[in-house]
């Protein structure tokens, strides 16, 4: 069966520090991968998605970037965090047909102080 792992679960980082959040999927190949952000008490905003290694699409201009160095690995990064980067970050995957929706990881709560 397919599983998705996301870490760390919680992160407190100072303003101006770098960020690296990692997501991996097991039990499938060539998944579509997604990064969402959820601000406190609000809906999910799609940040990046990837349909293959090295293929990244950005949905909104921001201080963050994403990379997909391996088929089942998706990384969210920042060189210098801003206070506004605080939030709950969710990784998700789907099959290439993705008509059955996305399966989400357990999320990372990021607090920038």
Partner 1 sequence: AQTVTQSQPEMSVQEAETVTLSCTYDTSESNYYLFWYKQPPSRQMILVIRQEAYKQQNATENRFSVNFQKAAKSFSLKISDSQLGDTAMYFCAFMWNKLVFGAGTILRVKS
Task: Kindly list the residues in this chain that would bind partner 1 in the complex (CB under 8 A).
Answer: 34, 42-44, 46, 49, 88, 90, 92, 94, 98-104, 106-107, 109
CB count within 10 Å of CB 41 equals 5
Least separation in angstroms between CB 107 and partner 1: 5
Q: Half-sphere exposure (CA, 13 Å, Cβ side) for 7?
A: 3
Peptide bond into 7 cis (omega under 30): no
**Least CB distance to partner 1 at residue 50 (A):** 12
Q: End-to-end distance of the chain based on CA atoms, in angstroms? A: 38
Q: Which is nearer to partner 1, 49 or 81 (CB)?
A: 49
> 35 with 47: CB under 8 angstroms?
yes
Q: Which is nearer to partner 1, 24 or 94 (CB)?
A: 94
Give least dist CB 35 to partner 1, A. 12
Minimum Å distance from CB 111 to partner 1? Answer: 14
């Amino acid at each position: 069966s397919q599983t998705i792992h996301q870490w760390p679960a919680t992160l407190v980082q100072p303003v101006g520090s770098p960020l690296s959040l990692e997501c991996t999927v097991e039990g499938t190949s060539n998944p579509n991968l997604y990064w969402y952000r959820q601000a406190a008490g609000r809906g999910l905003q799609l940040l990046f998605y990837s349909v293959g290694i090295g293929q990244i699409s950005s949905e909104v201009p921001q201080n963050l970037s994403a990379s997909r160095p391996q088929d089942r690995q998706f990384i969210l990064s920042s060189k210098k965090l801003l206070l506004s980067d605080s939030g709950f970050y969710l990784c998700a995957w789907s099959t290439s047909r993705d008509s059955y929706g996305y399966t989400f990881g357990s999320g990372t709560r990021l607090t920038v102080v």
